[in-house]
Every structure is written in C-alpha cells, then in structure tokens.
Structure 1
Amino acid sequence: MSKAALLDSLNVPQREAVSAPPQSVLVLAGAGSGKTRVLVHRIAWLLQVEGISPLSVLAVTFTNKAAAEMRGRIHDLLGMPVGGLWVGTFHGLAHRLLRLHWREANLPQTFQILDSEDQIRLIKRILKSLDLDETRWPPRQIANFINARKDEGARAKHLDSRGDEAQEQLIRIYRQYEEQCQRSGVVDFAELLLRSLELLRDNAELQAHYRRRFRHILVDEFQDTNALQYAWLRLIAGEENPVFAVGDDDQSIYGWRGAKIENIQNFTRDFASAIIRLEQNYRSTGNILQAANALIDHNRKRLGKQLWTASGEGEPIDLYSAFNELDEARYIAGRIKQWVDHGNRREEVAILYRSNAQSRVFETTFNEQRIPYRVYGGLRFFERAEIKDALAYLRLVTNSADDASFERIVNHPPRGIGERTVDTLRQQARTERRSMWEVTVDALQSGEFTARANTALAGFVRLIKQMAEEIHGLPLAEQVDAIIALATLREHYLSKEKGEAGQARVDNLNELVSAAHSYLQVRDDNAPEMDPLSAFLAHAALEAGEGQGEAGEDCVQMMTLHSAKGLEFPLVFLAGLEEGLFPHQMSADEPSRLEEERRLCYVGITRAEQQLVISYAEQRQLHGQTRFSAPSRFLRELPDALINEVRPKVKTYQTSYAPSLRTAQTTTAKPKIGSQTESGYTIGQRVSHAKFGEGVIIDAEGSGSQARVEVNFKAAGRKWLVLAYANLQRL
C-alpha cells in the first residue's frame, strides 16, 4: 500500500499522527475521534512506509477484544497476515514473556494462572493454616490488598506495618501467600505483570534484548494505566525507544481501581514527546459536543481540547424534571415507545446511570410496559448476589423449611460453619425427609457436632429467631431494613470489597428497602391472602423470573456509566442527575474525585450520537425514606442555550447549586381550599390511598399524565403523588 493510500481516508490531525517521525508522541484523542483508526494506520505506516520489521512492534491494549480487533484491522488494511507483531493486553504480553523465559523468572515451565476464585480459595486455606477467622479477615478483602500492593510494585518484603497490628497481619498473610504460590507454581493476574517487570529489571541481558527488539511501542487507552503498567512500559522503552500513546485525560474514570491520570498528564515530561490533538468527532451532534466541552472545562489540570463536528448542531438536549424515580422511569419508557413508533430499534437506545441500584425501577417499569431490555455487563436487580443474600434471610425467617435459603446464608457472612458441617446437615435432612433447620435444632440439643461448630450453629439459630421477633408488627420496609441490619450485610460488603465495589452493593441493599417501601400489594379475591412480607417475596421471585431479553432480541440497553465507556448509541438517557447520586456522595467533597465524577458525566454525554435526554428526580426513595435532592451541579455547568426543559418546574425552590435549576422562574401561588384544579380534584378533598391510608389534598400542579397532588395523610404525613398511578379514592 502506498503512502498516499494510507493517508487518504484520514483528516489532517490523524495524518499528522500516523505519519509522525519515529519519536514519542501523545495522541490526545477525544471521544469519537477515530483513535483506533489512527493506531491501526500508524502500525501500517511503520511497516509499509518506514520499512519497520513486524518483530520490532509492540502494541498494548486493555482488552482481548480490542487486541483482536486491532490485529484484524491491520490484516484487512494491509491485505496480508502480519506475523511477528506483539499485539495484546498488558497481562497477555506479560504472560507471553514469562512463558518464553520461565527459568529466568524462577517459575516452572508448566506454571498455571490463578483466576480470582482460585485466589480466594488459596487465601482461605492460608487463613485456616494461620488459625485466622474469616469473619475478621475476609478473603476477598485480603485478595484486594495483595493485588493492590502488586499493582504498586510492592512485595510483602517491601511493606512496613509501622506498628499497626492489622497491617502486620495482612503483610504476614501476603508473605504466606507468596510462598504458597511459589511452591505450587502458580501466578495470579497481578503477579503476571509484576514478575515480568522484575524479570526485565533484574536481567540486564534480557532487558537489552527486548529494548533492541521493540523499537516501536504503541499503547491504547493510556489514561487507564496504573503505576505498575506505566513502570513496565518505561522499562521496556528505556531512553531510546519511542512510545506512541493514544488516550484522553478527559475520559480517565477508573481511579477507583488504580488508574493514574497523572500518567497521561506526565507523559510529555517522562518521554519528551509531542502532543497531537484529535478533536473532530464523528459520532455526536454539535449540541451534544458543546455540552460536553462546557462541562469538562470545569476540570483543572486538563491537557485541553475542544470537540467539534462537521455534521451540524442537531437537536437540543432534553432535560426532564421528574417528580420521583417512578415518574422518571415512566417518562423514559414513554420516550422509548415514541422512538420505536417512528421506526427505530430499541437496541439503539441506552439508559445510563451512576449506580447500578438505579436499574431496579427501570426494570420494574419496563416489565410492566412490556419493553424488552438487557442489563449490559451486569445482572438484573433481583439476580445480584447481595439482593439474593438479603432475600434468603427474609425467606428463612418466614419459612424455616426453605433449605435453599438456609444453605445460602448459614455461613454468610462467615460465622465459622464449615462445608463439612453443612454437608452433614444436608445429608441428614435428605435421609430423614426433614428441613435442614429442623435437623440443626435437633443436632444442637443432641450435641452431634464439635464445640466450635455447635457454637456457630447455635448463634445462627438465635439470629434467625431474633429476626423473626424483632420484625413482628413492623411496616414492610422496616422489616427488610431490620433483617439487613441484623445480618450485618452492609458491614460485610463494605469490609469485603473496598471503595466503589462495596458501596455499590450497599446501594443495592438500600434500594431493596426502597423497593419494599414503594411496593403495593395487589389484592386478588381468588387467591389466598398473604402477609405483606410473603407477598413482597413472591413479587421479587416473579420479577427475577421475568428474565432479560433473549439473545438477538431487539432490547433497550441499560448500564452504568462506567460500563458505557467505548460504546455509542443514537439515543441516550442520562438518568438520576442529583446531588449525592451523581456526583456520588463519596466523591462530592474531594476535588480529585469530583473531577473524576465530572469526567464520568462527560463520558456519558459523549455516548449519544443523535439525541441526549437528561433526567433527575425531585424526590427519590433511598433506604426506605423519601429523599429530596438538589439537581446535580453538573446541570448548572451546561449552557442554557443547549437545553430544552421538557417539564419546567411549576414552583421555585432554592438550592446552593441551582437557584431555579436553569433560569429564573415565577412562583405559582397555591390554590385556595375548595378550588377546582386542572387535575380534576379539589383542594381540601378527602381521599384514600391503598398504602398511605386516608388524607386530605392540600396542593396540586400539572395536568394530564403529569398531574400530581400533595396529600396530607393521617399516618404517613405529606406526600406528592402522581395521579396517573396513585389510584386515589375520593371519600
């Protein structure tokens, strides 16, 4: 392929990047600017124009899928297979090095790789050998500690407890873990990269060999590199070999899992490179890009760029102010139906949210309205492990004969009940055709087990009985909350998985309480009457049984913002832009984390190709309580001229971030008692609600499907209700 043919399809900055002289270059590639195209053409340029041997090229990506795509596109571009190219992920390339040089790396030739579950099992065996209680030393938390230290390049021998007893114990476990892995000839994922770095660092001959070989190093998604990956790249590059890095500091959103935005910010200092900016976007409309630019301009220490497009301004960004999360979900469902009615496909639609707990209301609404959907990169709400844990406690409390629930929670969180004990109970229950609960209670009286097992089982039985006593007579949401609290599930997940992962599970547990709070039991005269908890558990089982859309079915895509990176959709809904939710409450008061939240919002905005709809709820159920939240500060950072408010607020309220959200609005006087409202109800009218009981209408606003009233209930207090689904009865 000729030089001209390689460059013909590229714009000016892309050509500059592809044809740059052999020196280190940072290609600052904005969202939708064709970064993969540039990487592929750069490799083709080196091979075809510069005459570089494929053996001297090392190309690093972050996923196996991206590596396979890159190899395929290089093959298609050049029209022939290119052998000798090293294209792969950091871990894949490190594994290749260790297989080639297993002896120098002090590994057996047949060494094996531990997956995450293998790693947990090994740690459990080590804890047992050290006589340490898993309740106090959760294996997954220890695995996270070990992996994080390795990602920092630190062995157990490098760590100093500084007199901290807990830290000293973690270091001791780490040391035992290293010794056991070495004896067994196994490596975990973090070890692959660390050991390959040590291999090259400590072997001058090998280091010189690979520096001579890999004269051209290319790296994709450079903003996502962690400390160890950056050190690995610098070691292979040395002082002579150029690094062609492609990335976007404005899309650095994985700081919580070790990515260092400083790596891309310091690239020009460490590699003495030029910066080429790719700012022409081939994905989104002008209005969407202007909104993204305005938002991200509020971050400091940016390398700086402005996205633009030649495809026109497009439609304004719709902003919907929902009454609550159910109103938000129903509005979005209505917009999706309109989209489909105009001949479009559901798979062209994405709903993006900050916390995966937000999916629950959308799932319920879509099931009700028969809108097929798929939760991308995750499980549906009632299929998530922490939700299943909580439901198992609730089921066992209501039905002690539920063996499946018994087995799930008898040692979860860990309470010292081993698998051998559970297996004995299981076999005995099967033989005697009784429940495992009955067998356990009898075994405690007869003293069949060891003193340790007996104590642990007795504690579990007491806990379930205590739960049954304490929730008696409580409202449904309080029952669910009490069970979660007594089971210490929140504490368990926060200690087991630090940071975002643990908090996400706690958010889901809190959402389960909210689900119970908003659950309305449907009366059926032809079915036996059920207590509220049993009815809710049946509802949860049916919801879980609905299932996602089948493979190949035209489904709406639902996902967290983190999962959405790298994807694009014609229509995007960005839901839940409220203070405390997005930006997340864990990040709002820390400048660096707030900037990452803003980058995450930037990523969400730039997923949209044609239409972007942003929504927030004036009130939202959280932990079974109604929370009134201010609109996200990110909304104030979007230019007024780009925004179309779908439902402007009728009444003004002041917040520290948005005096009237977008622009000054007039305050509507309250209607007088006895006056007829647009909703058809009268102020002062007595009404009854299936859940909240009797009350009096004290305010009203809106009309049609958006009409709502404020009711002062005798027992539940004041609540705003959307008439379309409140089912109020006039008294």
Structure 2
Amino acid sequence: MLATARGRLELLALVRELRDQRRKLSVIEFGDQLHLAAQIARQFDDVGTQEREQFKVVLLDEYQDTSVAQKDLILSLFGQGHSVTAVGDPMQSIYGWRGASANNIKQFPAEFAKADGSAATELNLTINNRSGQLILDAANVVSEDLRAGAKPLVAAPHTEPNPKVQVAVFETAEQEIAWGADYIADHVERGTQCSDIAVLARSGGQVGFWYRELIKREIPVEVVGIGGLLEIPEVQDVVATLKLLNDACENPSLIRLLTGPRWRIGSPDLLALRARAESLLLGAETPKVGDRLTQALNKAVEGSDSVETLSLLEAVLSPGTQGFSPEAIERFEAFAQEFESLQTMVGQPPVELVSQIIRVSGLGVEVGVRSALGAGSDALDSFVSIADEFSALDGQVSLRAFMAYLSAAEDDANALDGAMPSASNSVKLMTIHKSKGLEFKVVVIPNVTHRYFPYTFKRRERWTVNAQALPFGLRGDKDDFPELSMLDDKKAHGEFKDAIDQLHHEEEYRLGYVAITRAESELVMTAHWWGLTQKTPYGPSEFLTKLKEVPGINAEIWCDEPKAESGKPTNPLLEREHHFLWPAPLDETEFQNRKVAAKAVLDAMTTPVQESVFASSQAQEWRRDAAALIEDAKSQYEPVREVEIPQAITASALIAISKDSSRFAADLVRPMPRKPVKAANRGTDFHTWVEARFGQRSLLDRDDLLGAADDDFVVADQQLRALQEAFSNGRFADRPPALVEAPIQIIISEQVVRGRIDAVYENPDGTWELIDWKTGAKKADPIQLAVYRLAWSKMRGIPLEKITAAFYYVTEDELQYPDVSELTEEALARILALEDD
C-alpha cells in the first residue's frame, strides 16, 4: 500500500500540472463545467430560485446514468419539494467506470423528498415496449439476483408475439464466428434489413474477427466506435503509417506495412534490411536521405541511447545496393517516394493526412471495389470522421496529439468514445456499452464464454493496489463502496477484495441485461470451448448455462465439454498444422474483386465512346471531381484551412468579414477572449438608459445580472452622465421612437444575419427612419445600416425607397446618412462569398 500511495502522489503532480495547463489555456472539460455549475448552484440560492420559477416541472430521463456531481447540481436547483420526476432502470446502470452511480435512483425518494418532508412517490414500470416476452424472460433470469424484489419485465401487447432466443456453444471460436456470420447472411438473404441486425461484443477486440467474416459473405457492415475500428485491418494499416510518420523508429509498424499484401517484402529481404539498418546505425555509411527525415530521426532519438535505436525506415529510404533482391529495391523506392510525399503533410490537420494516406495507399480503392460488389464497409470513412472531429487541449490538432489520442483509445476506448451508428443499411458491429439506448430486430451476442462474459480477467480496481484509483473515502459516492476496516489486517484486505469483486460481478450482470434487452424479436448468444491460443477449455459462461434451462429457448447447438482418453484435452486449433505463405498472399475474394474491377476498366477503354457521353451529367461530375482533386493537391503546397461560417451571424460579423476575412476565420477557429473595454461597457449602459427613458426595456437588463447589487458594481461614470446630458439636449430627446432595440433577421445568400436596430421611427408620410446610436468616434461602417434597411424592408414588406438609415453621434448631436445605394443584397452576398466587387 505504501508503494501505491507513493505512486498516487506522483500522479497527483501530473493532475496539478494538467489543471494548470487548462487554466493557462482558458479551457475546461465537461467535468470542470459540471463542478463549477454545481458550485454556483450551492453557493447562490438565487440561481435555484430563478430556475424553479422558470421550470415548474422537471423530468429527468436515464437517471441511473447520473453521477454524484450531476445529482448534487440537480438537487441544488430543484430540491426542496419542487416537482421533479426521475425515470430510470437500475439494471441499466453500466457507466460506473465514468462516474455514474447505480444508487442514485435508489436514493431518489429520500433525496428529492416532498415539500412536507415525506419520501417521493415511487412507481415500478414493468411493461417493456421493445422486446418480445421470451427475450424478456432471458433478461429476467440474468437480472434475478439484482432486482431486489422488483417485479420482472412483461412485454407490451404490440411487441413481437413469437420472439426467438437461441443459445449455442461450439468447439472452437472459429466455428462460432463462422456460424454466426452464416446466421446473419441467411437473415439478409431472407429479406431482413442489414440495419436491423447488430453484433454486440463484450470488448472491441472481438470486432475485427466478425468484421472479416461478414465481409467475406459480402454483408454491408459498420463498425461503431473507435475501439472496434482500431481492430479493422485497413484502419490498422492507416494507423501504422501514422505511427511511422510520427516516429521514424516505429519498426513494428513498418514491418506490418512491408510484409502486407501491398509491398510483399519477404524474409530474406527483411534480414538484409536489418543488416543495412545496423550498418547505418554504426556509421558505416551516411544515409542519402533528405533533411526532413534526418530531423525526424534526430528528434525521435533525443534523450535515448543511440545504440538501442535501430531505424528500419532509415534503411528502406537508403537501402544501398547490396543484399536485396531487385524486386525489393524497386518496392523500397516506391515506398520511399510515397512516404516522403506523406511527410510533407505532417503539419496538416490529422484529417487531411489520414485522407491522403487512404488515397496514396489505394485503401480507398480497395474498399470502393468491395462496396461496389455488395460488401460495403465504411470503416475508413468512420476513421476519417474521428480524425476530423479530433481536437487537442491546446487547440493545435497536430499528428503527435492525434497519436496520443489513439494510444489512449487503445488502452480504454470506452472512456473516449462518443460515436453513434449511422442510418446506413449495414450490420452494426459495436460493444455492448455503445449499444445502450439502441434497439435492433436481431441481436447476436458472441463470446459469452467463461471468464469473458461475465468478464473476470480484469476486475474493478482496488485503491489499495492501484495508484490510479481514488480512495473510496474521497469520492462523492463513497457510500456505494465497501470500507476497508483495518489497513494492516490480512483478513480485512481479503474481505475488502471479495466485496469489490462482488461489485464487478453485479456490473457484468447489468451489462448482460442491457445487451439482451436491445433485441426486439430475435436474440442469439454464443460461446466456444477453445480460442486461438488457449491451452485450457473455457466453455459457456453462467449466462448461457442459466438460459439453457429457460423454457422456449433453443439450445440445440450445444457442444459438450472436451474430453481426452488420457490426460487433459488439447486445443485442436493449436494441434493442426499451419501453412503460411510469406509474404502474405492476396485474399482470394479481394483478388477476384480486383479482377472484376480491372476488366470493367479494360472493357471501357476498348469500347468506342459516343461523343454525347462527354456532355453527359456523369462526365461533368467527373470533371468537377478532377478539378477538386487538383485543388486538393495544390493545397498541400499552399495549405488552406476551410472554416465553416456559423448558421447565423450578426451584422457586426458581416462587417468583420468585409474588413479582414482571414482574421474573422481565425477568430472562428480559435476564439480568444477580449479584454473588457470600459468604453464598450459605457455604450451598453447608455443604450439601456435610452430604453428606460422611452419606457421600453429589453428582456435582460444589466441590473438583472447576478452580482449587480454588489457595492463594487458601478453602472454610471462621469462620461456616461455626459452622454445622457448630451442626448437630453439633442434632437431625439423629445421624439419617442416606435420601437427600440428592434430585432431583425434576414437571409442573404442562404446565410442568416441578425441584429438589433437601436431606434425605429415611423414618419407621418409613411416613410421609416432607422437610427443607430453612436457614443464613440465617427468611424461606423455603412454595411450595418445597409443590413438594417434590407431586413426592415423584407420583414415589414416596405419598399426600400421608403426607408432611410442613419448614425446618430450623441455627443455632437450629429446625424449622418451614409450612401448605401451600392450595398445591395447582391453586394452583401459577394462579401459573404469572399468575392471582390
């Protein structure tokens, strides 16, 4: 325990450093945001009062997934007998690893007591509107020990009247996956939509095997979540390239690429490659490589012993002439050319680099051919989306930061994953954690094998042996966890471990319940005795052995425990002879797909093309695609980051675009806080004073802000009083406007532009005058008035010629009518399009 405590102290230093860095960068995480919100709600009673006045009734959904901090926030805002209803299922509390407390919903009646102090009313909802009854029977069996007297689930009348549940046990994992893939293929052949089928795995490591089997059967498949994606072969190839670009000494990634079906480097050439790398390392010859690689290598070995740093990449880029086959030399040259072109993009956002890797490696073509032949896979598209959505703490989306993110995802994908399945017609492959809240007609749950599900290889971490675990006494939900009665008592530690294991056991059973209840009409759960590397048979877990006894559940496929005539049984997967060709041959299905695609190209090349084809819409689309690819290639040398303008902008933003569009885009990408300007505050106070003078107030006055009653919250100053006096003696002093702070909105070239007109005057002759108060220097931009005129004309149906607009400079009592005749809607649209007049 002392060593664990010392390790925890070291981690605390890192935590402090991380917090300091976030504070320095003025950024917060969701946890910080929640903590600050709860702190405000606890310290300022007015906050809760305002929220309760605004929201008379509060409904909390999925309450079993709330953390203690979320519960404290809600309790501070809506406690004290307010009308609050929480809906949740304790059996579906599966997010304990990210702070959710399964006991929150159990404690709700006492914590959210009625105004008279009595416990909140509790209702049991037992009617399930998703699953057929036999599926619910399976769920009830799994959750029986956790329900604590609660009634079992009953199917609603409209659910599937004849649901099917099948449990199956196979001799080997290969047989299990092949049977499951055939089962899904049969469903698809009989007309079941692929999107109505899901494979729910206990962990992401199983996803890759199922992916390959489904692709072999030409079943469209979507891998949901980064954890599963990292198990997909083509994604692994992209990641290997990224690792190599990030670290020139990432030898395992290079070996994966070189020995794959694309480069096909054999073992003799690999041995020669190692010898060449050792020669270069010992300085026998200076490699003939560019400065960029030299810099990358030097950076990679900073602070390390050069004797231990062997770079096979250095040898590939400078192979020399000795020891290699001619084919290897040719392939090394092609690899080097491709790799060095990718190095020029290392400074680009990860999404650009990932997209380029897919293009130059041909992976996109491979998947495209596969999709065209009916076995669609959008794994690469999903990975591109992950790269596109990635953002680092400091706002710099560098390759190094992205690789750190992928490394963290490999360790714990659940903690980082926020992906959801798309609407595409494909079988969904995902972990059970990702499936919560979803439903499918057909659900397959594989590897329900002893020790794998319920998972027992790794249990909930105990703070006594793991420095990363927070001692339970310091947690907000400490009452949910067992106490260690004596620190120096061996028996107490044993009892503590057993209690923690029991918590893990309950979490696994809740996870099983969630997986089963995703199914609407058909559920399949499978297991095996022998995995690829096991020396001990595992067999079905307690889930399957319990479900086998449920009336109505199909257990016809049930392989009995392996027996041996003498001694222990042996794994047939380890006993069989394995013959491999190295380098790895092309997959036969992939090879046939390539031949079909190549034949289509050759046929098109030898078939005379009618002149009309070049004028067709397809040809025009090709031209557009070609132009886009050319521009994309140019962007590698002239990097440009595209920035999407928000759906709605203000008139001030339009002015900013017209003055400096690059600066405006930079502010969108990384908005920086601006130093408070006293003059700007004074202008705001003046506008508020004018509203009050004419008896019209905006919905939120400055006096309504929290803290406005504090002694140091001073609204007026000497210059503000001078503005008020000047206005009172000016031309508008006794001229009440028809409207003040009139909101406007106009759509210019599909872009919403919003604003507020300070004062609107309707003249007796039917004309309108729009006035913008100015309390500062005379440097206002007429674009603002042009937007106001156009918006007022469109919103009120008034001809433009009957609307004038002016700036009123208060201190000078001066009215200016800028010429806005050329600032037409078309001219404003050109500004938004960043075009010159």
Higher radius of gyration, 1 or 2? 2
* TM-score, L = length of structure 1: 0.48
